[in-house]
Structure 1
Amino acid sequence: MNMVRWSQMMDHHFGIFSILLFHLTMIELLQPFRVASELISSYVPIVALAGDDVILPCQLQPAVSVSSETLLWIRPGLDLKYTYVHRDGQPMLMGQNPSYYNRTALFVDQLMNGNVSLKLFRVKLSDAGRYTCIIDSKKMEASVQLIVGAASTPVVNITGFDRGPVVLQCESTGWYPEPEVFWLDGEGNLLSAGPTETVRGPDDLYTVSSRVTVEKRHSNSFTCRVQQNSTNQTRETHIHVPDIRMHQQDDEKKAVVLFKRNQKVKEHDVSERSCEDDPMLNLKKKQLEDQGDQLESVTVL
């Protein structure tokens, strides 16, 4: 009886051992076909504006927890290249570049999902460059390029309205890199303008200004567009100019009236003494004054 039980027990254990051995064998056989994890970042440059916060992506795929790993973010070319160090489950200030103190962080709750992305706060122009994410123990790394720009809305003013042709001036400060300036009419057509004036300040930011003369054939709505292609930034300001045609017609009417007045003055160009001596001339002067004309010259032919 005991021998039977012993035999049954041995058969049971042997069965379990056989199943375990089978599973281990299958794991070994399938080992070459397992997908190795890879550290991936963005192949496209990340664009940020000065003063904004930005995320530099870095992800382990397939996802594997990196909570207990030593994680590094570096920026090659700096004297102190470490922009962030994560060791023993917490950030380390030792060795970190002072320029990045209190401006970098990981998504700690996402480390178990293999997310090693870096959040950079209050971006500066000097932050532009290439960053590398490293999982130290796995000898894995991935790089991403950060482009930093600056932009501002242009200001448009009307000049020369009372002195002749209508001239529009556009100015925009605080750009980086150097932008371009374009003028458009109400239908979106480009206008021919003078060369753009560019000044670079001590803070490396650019100020640009441009002028355009508005002609009679144009509509009364105009746009100053400032754009920077590498940062994909565009700022526009629209302006409506009072009726240009009416203004020009008024100028023409004023010129005609002035011409007629000058003609009248020439026709009656006499001296004050002659008017006093000749009652007829004095009467003519009085009639001209009553009509609103001014006789100011005192010239003797």
Structure 2
Amino acid sequence: MKPLCTVIRTLLLSVLLPWPSTGKFHVIGPSKPIIAIAGEEAVLSCHLDPIVDAQNMEVRWYRTHPSGLVHNYGKHMELQMPEYHGRTEFLKENIARGQVALRIHPIRPFDEGVYSCFFENSTYNKEAQLEMLVTGSGVAPHIHIEPATTGEVKLTCTSTGWYPEPEVQWRDQQGQRLAPDSDTKTKEENGLFYVKTSITMDKSSSEGVSCHIRNPVLSEEKEVYVSVSGALFPWSWIVGLSVPLGILVVANLSCCILCGVLIYKDMI
């Protein structure tokens, strides 16, 4: 009976305390998605639990499938996905404590997705998954004004560098939404969105309008305001002033000619 008890106790200990005897471990990654800004850098981190020296382990980052290699610590970097060439750096300052990280720079919309952080020693392997969300708030919008039909002007608001697809609104001075004539969001070659929206206003309107572009991930908004009458005023001012200026120039020229004639007669 005693040998049987010893066997049972040994089995229980092996189940309850497996890590010291078998070298097993867990891989722990961030519990929340990582928010990465397009054009900047992102750091994806993970660590072992319990603390294990990972200097002699294979540490691999990949996407979707193990063949989608993002970075590999120590070997097989020739298999790295072309999209990541020259953009990844393995951070191993704390690898002896089982802590590693991967820096990606610059961030592109393509980088958004789920990553696997994989550790493997001679007898065991484990991985953890983490998600990265890419976002970007573009440049400040700009409004261009041009004539439309008689008595109206067309306002066109543009901006670039947004991700994901932004929300766009025209608003009056009271903050009420205005319906646009057109609203387009085009994905450029770099994966970021170019925004172009337009609205028609009465040329004589004293109301101001604003164009708002909002990043839905960061809840960050950029806007530009314009007063239609104020924007048109410089041109009407120039046109209105050109008439009296013309009269003044002609009058001065006539006066100079008359003075010249009088002086010439006196000399004779």
What's the counterpart of residue 160 of structure 1?
A: 147
Aligned residue among 97, 116, 132 for 1:146 = 132
Mark the runs of 5 or more structure 1 residues left unpaired by the alignment. Answer: 1-24, 251-301
Structure 1 residue 240 and structure 2 residue 240: aligned? no
How far apart are the structure 2 equivalents of 1:70 and 1:201?
38
The secondary structure found in structure 2 opposite 1:117 is strand
The 1:237–1:163 alpha-carbon spacing in structure 2 relative to 1, beyond 3 Å, is farther
* 1:96-133 Cα deviation digits (max 9, x unpaired): 33432332222211213322221111123333332100
How far apart are the structure 2 equivalents of 1:206 and 1:136?
40
What's the counterpart of residue 214 of structure 2?
A: 227
Structure with bigger gyration radius: 1
The root-mean-square deviation of aligned C-alpha atoms, in Å, is: 3.7
What pairs with 1:1-301 in structure 2 (closer than 5 Å)? 32=16, 37-77=25-65, 80-87=67-74, 93-137=77-121, 138-153=124-139, 154-160=141-147, 164-214=151-201, 219-220=207-208, 222-229=209-216, 231-232=217-218, 234-241=220-227, 243=229
Letter paired with 2:62: I
How far apart are the structure 2 equivalents of 1:206 and 1:140?
38
Q: Contact 1:66–1:114 (CA<8 Å) still a contact in 2? A: yes
Moved over 6 A (4+): 28-31, 33-36, 215-218
Give 1:210 shift: 1.3
Mark the runs of 5 or more structure 2 residues left unpaired by the alignment. Answer: 1-8, 237-268
How far apart are the structure 2 equivalents of 1:174 and 1:93?
32
The 1:197–1:103 alpha-carbon spacing in structure 2 relative to 1, beyond 3 Å, is closer
The secondary structure found in structure 1 opposite 2:96 is helix
Please give the TM-score of this superposition, normalised by the length of structure 1.
0.58
Higher relative contact order (CA 8 A, sep 6+): 2
What's the counterpart of residue 286 of structure 1?
A: none
Give 1:134 shift: 0.5
Please give the TM-score of this superposition, normalised by the length of structure 2.
0.64
Percent of pairs with identical residues: 25
- Residues paired across the two proteins, number: 215
Larger fraction in strand: 2
Q: Contact 1:60–1:116 (CA<8 Å) still a contact in 2? A: no
